Amino acid sequence: MHRGKSHSFKDFVETQLRDLQSRFGMAMWFLARYRDDDWLLLNSFGEGYDLERGDLLRWRDTLCYQRVRERGPLICTDVSREPAYRDAPVTDQLGIGAYLGLPLTDHRGRLFGTLCALDPKPRPELDQDGAREALLRQAHLLETALVWNLAGLDQQRIAEFFEEESRDPDTDLLDMTGWGRILDQERERCRDYGLSAVVLRVHGDNLNPDDRAEVADSLAALIRHQDMAAYLGHDQFAVLLTENTPCRAEQVRERLLDALNAKGLLMRCEYEPLRTTPGLVQPEVLLNGAVH
């Protein structure tokens, strides 16, 4: 497994879930992310539940919420006998008879999510010597891979940006083709790790070549090293803010505009969440040409 390669981590997780089901049974196994008070499904293996990658559940409704707070056991062979799990809203919603749940932390020591499994029926055979210790070892292995990969994401982004050859010759920022590839690479990371990102559109009117170069230099200097900038023609620039939210993007927007305005560059800026649809051009206004 190569450091920071998100597709390798996805393959690794799928292999782990398949092996866990082979060893311990249970209808479906999941890697789930805790994000914005949601339970976000990143990977799954098995059958029995109408859940797939990208699905969201309300975090406080889930058995994982109870497990993270140690209100229920790691292995629950019969959910109907465990009040914390039995009374969780998701139990009736999904029809859960047995549950396994192991919290995972990220590279900063914060809760990332859970490795968990569900079965529609009770599974008394899971109450066996060594099962808990074996599951903890598997969770530690998965958590180690998770931490390793998360810690390498910024370096991966930087490498992809500098290796991207499709650039605007006047600003040396990404051009439309390079920008599209960078967006799709970040979308893959968002799907694999449950991340979110924001796209800024920075645009002006009738910029001369010197002003255009000044905007490009300013954007490159003002954003973080793991963020990326592009010039997309018609006096339109774009910035990808990785691992970011609209709330934080508003702060970046104001800082960029203040810095540009201070140089006499009167620009406008809007932002939108990065969507996970492959090949989608963002910001969408570019699909209709230049709009000022």
Tens of pLDDT along the chain (292 residues)? 334 444 579 999 999 999 999 999 999 999 999 998 999 999 999 999 999 999 999 999 999 999 999 999 999 999 999 999 999 999 999 999 999 999 999 999 999 999 999 999 999 999 888 899 999 999 999 999 999 999 999 999 999 999 999 999 999 999 999 999 999 999 999 999 999 999 999 999 889 999 999 999 999 999 999 999 999 998 999 999 999 998 889 999 999 999 999 999 999 999 999 998 998 889 975 544 444 3
- Cα(32)–Cα(36) distance, integer angstroms: 13
List every span in the chain annotated with CATH 3.30.70.270.
Answer: 154-288
pLDDT for the residue 286: 55
Q: How far apart are CA 211 and CA 206, in angstroms?
A: 9
- State residue 6's pLDDT score: 42
Dihedral of alpha carbons 242, 244, 249, 252, sign: negative
Query: Could you tell me what percentage of the chain is helix, strand and coil, using 3-state DSSP and rounding each to the nearest 5?
Result: 45, 20, 35
Residues 99, 70: Cα–Cα separation, whole Å: 14
Reading across the β-sheet that carries 98-105, which strands appear in turn?
56-58, 38-46, 28-35, 111-119, 98-105, 75-76
Positions of CATH 3.30.450.40 in the chain: 6-151
Q: How many CB atoms lie within 10 A of CB 193?
A: 23
- What pLDDT does 3 receive? 42
With beta carbons less than 8 A apart as the criterion, state whether 272 and 198 touch: yes
Q: Are 46 and 92 in contact (CB under 8 A)?
A: no
Query: Domain 6-151: which topology?
Result: Beta-Lactamase (3.30.450)
Q: What is the pLDDT of residue 25?
A: 92
Domain range 154-288, its CATH number among 3.60.15.10, 3.30.70.270, 3.40.50.300, 3.30.70.20: 3.30.70.270
